[in-house]
Chains A and B, each alone.
Chain A
Amino acid sequence: MKEKPKNPDRREFLKKGMAAAVGAALFPGAVLASEEENSEEWYSMLYDSTKCIGCKSCSVACKRVNHLPPELEKDGIHDDAIDLSAKTKTIIKLYKSDDGRSAFVKRQCMHCLDPACVSACPVSAMRKDRTTGIVYWNGNRCIGCRYCMVACPFEVPKFEWDKPIPHIVKCDLCKDTYLKEKGITACADVCPTGAIIFGKRGDLLIEAKMRIKKNPERYNPVIYGEYDGGGTSVMYLASKGVSFQELGFPRLEKSPAEISESIQHGIYESLVPPFLALGALYFLLKPEKKEGKNDSGK
């Protein structure tokens, strides 16, 4: 057997490996610099659970405006939606505790400031509009991998399981429908009690804080979405004594996107620890290996 070419071979191999590693490191490292946008200017909604009467006008208006199909049972009978789905972009749910407390809660896309779905989508089909803050889905790009659904901490994006050409469905703040015509989302427009109001995030935060300050005995002192999940554009107020976890919202200190990206970039930006590990292994095992090789090589 040839013995000489082996070492140059390997050296060349390792050299190329390092070069490739550098390239690979540069590649995912070239992340879009996150511009310092003014999230206070982004379109936003504030939902006040203490004002909601559960009339479901919002769900009805949403279906009408966004041309969503009815929820059908298997036998074709129309039924109420029980959860967000590919046919229901917003829904009113009811929390009932064992000790008799109850509260309504409206569920829909939270339009996170740092959305996990946008971070997750491999082909940039989920995007956050940088002027309006709307998180929207682009069907021309979507490959239907459903990683957005895996990533979303609020279980918002839904998939049309029963269609050969499926869409990802979620609230887009009536971006192409009602918002375009009337300058407001359909749900906020039709709400009879003003439980859901539409505006700029900064203004709504001030409003929410004012409500809590005025009626501290009525409200839960926390505004869900102010900081939760890295902040969301759709924010929630709840009654005193009702926690947001009871209403079905996860406790999130940071945005999942931030955690995921920091680890992923940490690995690749600091020049490929896997390669450092392999390199270290190589140097550690070098003497031992040479003996072993002599045995088999000669």
Chain B
Amino acid sequence: MIQESKYEVVRGKVITRTFLMFTFFFLLSLILLAVRFTKGLGAVTNLSDGYPWGIWIAYDVVVGSALGCGGYALAILIYILNKREFSPLMRSALLTSALGYTMAGFAVIIDLGRYWNVYGFALPNRWNLSSVLFEVAVCIMTYTLILWIELTPVIAEKTGWNRKKLEKIVMVAAVIGLILPTMHQSSLGSIQIISLKKLNPLWHSGFLPLFFLSSVILMGYAVASAESLLSSLYFKRPFEMNLLKKLSIYMVYIGFGWIILRFIELIFWGKISLVFTQGFYSFMFWLEVALFFIPSYMLWKYRSQLSPRKIFVFSIIYLFAGAIYRFNVYLIGWNPGSNWVYFPSMSETLITIGIVSFEFMIYLIFVKTFPVLPAKEV
């Protein structure tokens, strides 16, 4: 499946100035993590009994895994809609997905208060099948594994493993890899259904899973586009403009569809007046809608004259839009009572930065060791 396109290893030294900068932030976060694991979560975070989930869940896990959905979003195009031409983007998208999900997994372990009990997910007598989080956790764990299995051909090309056997495994993995994100990315929205009154009615909805799923596909295409442009620029390779232009049209469809769906939901449940009456929350709602609308409108307007810069900028705005929506649901619109406040602490933020830096470090090592990026010439 994946071998249809040609890929190559990026040449160049692994250790560069950028790489060292990431290393610095990663080491810094390791020191803070030592504090977290010896003194407890309260020592480094601003989490409280009112805000049990903070930036580590909202950004590292929810947004992080959404940014890791490039592989999933492309897989829908390539396998379900049979748009084979997108397969050159697949490998690097798979790699960012695998990294994104692995880092989300790390963040979860850091965030878990009693991480040593995680083995409980392997004991069926502890499974709580009515828990949305159970489904999300199991799916994310499995999917992370699947992503790395899907990447094995990359390593096989380098090491010369038996590719015939691998291909069968990868095939099954790809099938499961299409189902799992559908389940858990929608369920990341379902998680907040149980919050009921704690989540502002502008966001609380039975359609949370649908909003999350549709926006994650949009974010997947956006991240795949941005990443393709970025690696082309960074590794001095040609831009895949043909593919990216098609992708941006899909993004426009989903972007507009998402906004329409959002308003239909608000109107249908009689909550439409809230978009003006909730003060700060209304502002955040409009910011979110604007961030979805602006790139959709601009990409549509310039659909015939899209440049790499335009695609990059609007893809990034889409990513911000999806991130803001997730922050709204998990932190900003989530309020256990007007008396509670939360804003991430410096240590908390630095640990997040450290995790992201580590992700970049692995990516840089990986593309310079294994054939991930599309080959320049046939």
Contact = CB atoms under 8 A, between A and B. Distances in A.
Contacts of B115: 143-144
A51 interface: no
Contacts of B158: none
13 contacts: A1-B4, A14-B80, A21-B179, A124-B125, A147-B131, A161-B45, A256-B193, A261-B130, A263-B193, A264-B193, A282-B81, A293-B82, A296-B85
B83 A293 contact: yes
Nearest to A285: B81
Interface in B34-51: 37-43, 45, 47-50
A150 interface: yes
Interface in A259-287: 259-261, 263-265, 267, 274-275, 278, 281-282, 285
B113 A144 contact: yes
Contact of A160 (B4, B40, B108, B198): B40
B160 interface: no
Nearest to A119: B130
Given A144-B115, A159-B52, A16 B175 contact: yes
B257 to A, nearest CB: 12
Chain A, interface size category, equals 35 or more
The secondary structure that dominates the B interface is helix
B343 interface: no
Interface string A73-84: 000000000011
Contacts of A289: 81-83
A260 B47 CA distance: 25
B261 to A, nearest CB: 12
Interface of B: 1, 4, 37-43, 45, 47-50, 52-53, 76, 79-85, 108, 111-115, 117-118, 120-121, 125-135, 137, 171-172, 174-176, 178-179, 182-183, 186-187, 190-198, 206, 209, 213, 336-337
A15 to B, nearest CB: 9
A166 B195 contact: no
Interface in A145-178: 145-147, 149-151, 153, 155, 158-166, 168
A257 B194 contact: yes
B82 A164 contact: no
